[in-house]
Amino acid sequence: MFLVCLLGAGTCCSCFATTVGFQDRLALDTHDFGPAKTINVCVYLDRGIDEQQARSLLSSWDSKAPLYGLYIKPIMFADHPRVGFFHDDILDDVSSIPLAITCDRVLYFSNRNVWDYAYANLPNPVLWPMPEVLGEVDDSTMTHGFVVAQPDSINGLMISPSHVTRQTVPPHRGMSSRVVDGSMLRSDRAA
């Protein structure tokens, strides 16, 4: 199977890359997502990522929001230097940020560093994409997530930070909890 993946990788991004979100417009139009919700997001920024860049990435969801009745409102921006190299380390650190009473979600925009660049590009003499996680949401609560905000690899050029933000946002914004298990957002619980 691995050999098949390697042989087929030239025709696709890579066997190691996935994205989610082929839209079935008929299914979307017939599914009732309930009343529209606005989710308050506390946004944390790595060194080198500014509020304007984060707002731009968050706005990539604006065209999708009406489809799901899920809107976001960034209510604060704070600096938070990146901890760790691997996605698990980054997500563990982001998951340790307390969820403020005014926030439904925490979203972290991570920068890249020289080690990320070396991992993604130097062992790549034939321009073969290395496996990378460009965005992720915690599995247990779906309240904390991160997006790599700076493309510096082949994967990052093929899958833009805006695309990763759009793919990270739905489950991160409560879609999974509203659609799959019916749990409520923090703002719903407070009412």
Residues 45-70: tens digit of each pLDDT: 999 999 999 999 999 989 888 888 88
Domain with 101 in it: 33-190
**DSSP bridge pairs for 147:** 109, 135
pLDDT at res. 14 = 41
Residues of the chain with pLDDT under 50: 1-20, 172-191
**Would 18 be classed as within a structural domain?**
no
Structural domains counted in the chain: 1
**DSSP bridge pairs for 144:** 106
**Would 70 be classed as within a structural domain?**
yes
**Would 4 be classed as within a structural domain?**
no
pTM: 0.75
Handedness of CA 145, 150, 156, 159 (dihedral sign): positive
**Would 10 be classed as within a structural domain?**
no
The first and second tokens of residue 163, run together, are 């695309």
**Would 154 be classed as within a structural domain?**
yes
**Would 170 be classed as within a structural domain?**
yes
**Would 167 be classed as within a structural domain?**
yes
CATH number at residue 46: 3.40.390
**Would 148 be classed as within a structural domain?**
yes
